[in-house]
Chain A
Amino acid sequence: MAMLKTFKLGGVHPPENKLSAGRAIEVLPLPEQAFIPLNQNLGAPGVPLVQKGEQVKTGQLIAKGEAFISSNVHSSVSGKVLKIDDLMDPSGYRRPSVVIQVEGDEWVPSIDRSETLVRNISLSQKEIIEKIHEMGIVGLGGATFPSHVKLMVPAGKKAEVLIINGVECEPYLTADHRLMLEKGAEILVGTSILMKGLGVERAIIGIENNKPDAISNMSELSKSFQGITIVPLRVKYPQGGEKQLIKAVTGREVPSGKLPIEVGAVVNNVGTAFAVYEAVQKNKPLFERVVTITGKSLKEPGNYLVRTGTPISMLIEKAGGLPDDTGKIIGGGPMMGKALLSTEIPVVKGSSGILILRKNESKRVPVIHCIRCARCVSACPMGLEPLLLAQYAQQEMWDDCERERVMDCIECGSCHYTCPSGRPLLDYIRLGKFRVGQIIRNRGKN
């Protein structure tokens, strides 16, 4: 048997802990109040269209993304707008949000709520991109980059292949896995729509081989779809990183500082493909997504279809309540996720999972000196030298940070994970990225 494909440089193998992989997706009941942040995407926040006291329906547009990189926000519930106020979102800061008092569940009539699979793609390439923009679709892998922008290939570049990311390399998370098992056909139609929108003939769905059931299900279903191949991949973190996935499935390397389109590839998540299916074929805006709620101490880890704006406390309640030994609540997976400040933080388009870490799991180990073992260097999937970058950032040597390609860091945390001295490498690299990013932007202005 031939070796399965994977990316070459670096990578780590954290324990998988996919506790909720066997749990089918359930629908979470509606919250009493939905807190919908206006900025649920990378880029500029949306401009609110509703006013206090207004009645809204499920799926109604409540904020319009007017900048180029921004996206529309739709109401996830029906009811009355209580207020538009600054509320805590997963970033840890208070940002403008719309609070809606839920009354019933009346959907916008144009949404097709039937379960039947619609395979025939009637829209043209341009209409598909417009539809995706209108329905507020963003990348559901976590970065929430507006999807319509991804489909608009810049002049002079040519897209050759669409890669669908079904890797889900983050430990614990199983939302994409379940989606591939339960909504495989829809994902494949979504993939075909994305292919048409992008104007490519070929699509590859990469799935790590720790999900054999998903691989066999998708392979079976993909036989009736033109141009879509399923590629099983060897398990290695961070294979779900855009550049790593391209390297793994096509063997092409995205040059430093460039976008994937440089090598003719566009990457989208399976969740995004499903959302695109619903938007284009069923006219349904992006206002709900599958979220994994998991953790070793939780009574019932599971996967739920959650409306955006639902406070995570409802999810935790559904999974058996917050355990006594809770140390941290993480939004996302254990490698790249971020600790959340409160249980009242709402689920947003980018929330792939809620992870409850136990006290002993969430402790940072004492930091000791760097012993120059270079484990971080061999773990870095981007071929950087994390120990150097972290020290440059600590010493505020921003020029050196830039020269050592700090902006290439994908913040996967592999360096931090392997460090035997427990050094907070990624923390400092992030600081370096932030500062160098500022410097580069200011340079453009002068």
Chain B
Amino acid sequence: MNEVMLYSLISLGAIGIVAAIILYLVARRFRVVEDPRIDEVEEALPAANCGGCGYPGCRNFAEATVKSATDNKHIEGLNCPVGGNEVMAKVAALLGLTVEESKPMIAVVRCNGSRENSPPKLSYDGPATCAFAHNLYSGEGGCPYGCLGLGDCVAACSFDAIHMDPGTGLPVVNDKCVACGACVKACPRNIIELRYKGPKDRRIFVSCVNREKGGVARKNCVVACIGCGKCEKECKFDAITITNNLAYIDYKKCTLCRKCAPVCPTGAILELNFPPKKEKTAEAAGKAEVRNREENPGKPENKE
């Protein structure tokens, strides 16, 4: 055998062995001890990396869950809205814990200022970004609180769950919504809220966020909440509060009894996906229902 080859083999081999020993020792010395359950939990998560849980991605959420399980022996307050109860149950099982079932949430657009209800008085020809238009003026319909209809929420959604309705000019949420909250953050006017999805997708909410006085609000939009307080009086569960001329229904207290909607003089309270009432009570109830139907032609399942 060639001598040169022999020497190089021996020297390289020796270097290799020494390097391997060093690497082994370094790896031992600086080993990162990681709970193997983190990988398991991450595996169980949907891997959407949407940030809906409040952490930057699924891995971070997995780390937080495992940390909470080791330190506090519970994982309360941690919830993956995308996976829902199924995934959280799986995660809890992996960690040897149980988790309370949480009610599924959905994004709700609290503005009904469609082109019909709040006719455009101005026209905007700037860049189609709500954030920009919000800095500039009160909106085509004149309501300084209402939807600008330029679709920042649509752009923010990574689940294809929110779209602009070309007829009304308002965003519509479909059942792909996982309540990650991206649209809530994107809306410069804080119109979108996460609420309980409700049994059979039935929801009641005040579809208005206008805090102006009744007369001023009504001038721009016929379905604005005027803060009259009728619904507050009607509600037996303390779910409705009026602050700054605006009614708000607390979804945690609301029992979906449907008493408030018929008394609303402007029809600002929306009832979604309920069967139509048989008795003909107040006119407003009829109005609300008509509007509900008009807004969802052919798709009674998903106004929101």
Contact = CB atoms under 8 A, between A and B. Distances in A.
Given A86-B212, A94-B144, A94-B212, A427 B138 contact: no
Contact of B135 (A86, A94, A339, A434): A434
Interface residues of B, number: 15
A424 B137 contact: no
B127 A93 contact: no
Contact of A93 (B122, B125, B144): B144
Contacts of B126: 364, 424, 427
B137 A427 contact: no
B137 A431 contact: no
A405 interface: no
B242 interface: no
Interface string A74-112: 000000000000100000111000000000000000000
Interface in A323-369: 338-339, 341, 363-364
B159 interface: no
B132 A427 contact: yes
Nearest to A433: B135
A306 to B, nearest CB: 23
A430 interface: yes
B131 interface: yes
A145 interface: no
Contacts of A86: 212, 216
Q: Describe B's contact surface by its main secondary structure.
A: loop
Contacts of A364: 125-126
Given A341-B122, A427-B127, A428-B127, A92 B136 contact: yes
A220 B79 CA distance: 77
B138 A430 contact: no
A430 B144 contact: no
B129 interface: yes
B127 A424 contact: yes
B135 A431 contact: yes
A341 B120 CA distance: 12
Interface residues of A, number: 16
A92 B216 CA distance: 15
B271 to A, nearest CB: 31
Contacts of A363: 125
A93 B132 contact: no
A434 B127 CA distance: 15
A394 to B, nearest CB: 8
A430 B142 CA distance: 22
B132 A430 contact: yes
B129 A431 contact: yes
Contacts of B135: 430-431, 434
Interface string B117-156: 0000010011101011001111000101000000000000
A434 B137 CA distance: 14
B132 A431 contact: yes
Contacts of A339: 137
B138 A92 contact: yes
Contacts of B129: 431
Nearest to A428: B127
A93 B138 contact: yes
Interface string B176-198: 00000000000000000000000
A15 B33 CA distance: 70
A435 B135 CA distance: 11
A364 B128 CA distance: 13
Contact of A431 (B122, B125, B131): B131
Interface in B95-135: 122, 125-127, 129, 131-132, 135
Interface string A368-408: 00000000000000000000000000000000000000000
A424 B125 CA distance: 10
A428 B132 CA distance: 8
Nearest to B137: A92
A92 B135 CA distance: 9
Contacts of B216: 86, 94
A207 B67 CA distance: 68
A338 B131 CA distance: 17
A339 B122 CA distance: 11
Nearest to A92: B137
A415 to B, nearest CB: 14
A216 B241 CA distance: 68
Contacts of B125: 363-364
Nearest to A425: B127
Nearest to A87: B216
Contacts of B127: 424, 427-428
Nearest to A94: B144
Contacts of B122: 341
A269 B51 CA distance: 50
B91 to A, nearest CB: 31
A93 B212 contact: no
Interface of B: 122, 125-127, 129, 131-132, 135-138, 142, 144, 212, 216
- A-B pairs, 6 with minimum CB distance: A92-B137, A431-B132, A424-B127, A427-B127, A364-B125, A93-B144
Interface of A: 86, 92-94, 338-339, 341, 363-364, 424, 427-428, 430-431, 434-435
7 contacts: A338-B136, A341-B122, A364-B125, A424-B127, A427-B126, A428-B127, A430-B135
Given A339-B137, A424-B127, 16 more contacts: A86-B216, A92-B138, A93-B144, A94-B138, A94-B144, A94-B216, A341-B137, A341-B138, A363-B125, A364-B125, A364-B126, A427-B132, A428-B127, A430-B132, A434-B135, A435-B131
